[in-house]
Homo-oligomer: A and B are copies of this chain.
Amino acid sequence: MARPRGSTSEITGQRLRAAALRLFARHGFAAVSMRQIAAGAGVQAGTLYLHFADKEDLLFDLLRSHMEDLIAAWDGQARPEGPLDRLREFVGFHLGRNRDHPDAVFLSYMELRNLGPANFARIESLRRDYEDRLSAILAEGEAAGVFACPDVKLATMAIIAMLNGVNTWYREGGRLTRERVGEIYWGMVRQAVAASGRA
C-alpha cells in the first residue's frame, strides 16, 4: 500500500498476493503451502518471508486490502439522491464488486477463522463499516416512508447474504446475463423492503 511503486520488491509482492489469493480461494488457506504460493509467483519459498512475516500475515494483507478497497470504492462514487435509487445503486455496486473480485469475496467470508483474534477483529470491523453503508440507506428510506423493514440490521444482513449467493452459482455464458440477474435481484430486494404490502 505504501511501498515504492514499480520497484522489484513491489512487483514480486504483488505477484505473491495474486498467487496467494487465487490459491487460497481455490483450495483453502490451510491446504495451500508457502511453496505453492512462491511457485505461483515464480520465486522460491524463502522469498515469501521477505514480504510477509508468516502465512497468516499474508492472508490478513489480502483480506484487509480487499475490504479497504471495497469501502473506498463505494465512498468514492457519486451517489444518487433518494433512498430507493441509492439502494438500487448499492445492489448494482455490490454485485459488480462480487463479479470482479470473486476470490477475495470468497476468502473474506470463508477464511476469517484462520486469523488470530486481533486480525480477526480488524477485518470484522471493516466489514461492519461496509454493512453500515447499506443500513444507513435502509434507515433513511424507513424514515422517508419508502421502506418498511421490521429491522434494519436484519434487512442489511439478508440483502448482503442474498447478493453474495450469486457468486456461488452464477457461471458466465449460462441461461442469464449478469445484467438480467442484477435486474431480477434488484426487484427482489426492492420488494423485500418495500413499504407497501407489509401485513
The yes or no answer to A181 lying at the interface (CB within 8 A) is yes
Interface-forming stretch among A5-13, A35-43, A46-54, A161-169? A161-169
Chain B residue numbers with a CB within 8 Å of A165 are: 157-158, 160-162, 164
Task: Report how far A185 CA is from B149 CA in the complex, Å.
Answer: 10
**Size category of the binding interface on chain A:** 35 or more
Binding site for B on A (CB under 8 A): 26-31, 109-111, 113-114, 149-151, 154-155, 157-158, 160-162, 164-166, 168-169, 176, 181, 183-185, 187-194, 196-199
Other than the given A29-B30, A149-B188, 17 more pairs (CB < 8 A) read: A29-B31, A30-B30, A109-B168, A110-B110, A150-B183, A150-B187, A154-B176, A154-B181, A157-B165, A157-B166, A161-B164, A162-B162, A162-B165, A164-B165, A187-B199, A190-B199, A197-B197
Give 10 nearest A-B pairs by CB, closest first. Answer: A161-B165, A30-B31, A30-B30, A192-B192, A188-B192, A162-B162, A197-B197, A158-B162, A150-B184, A191-B191
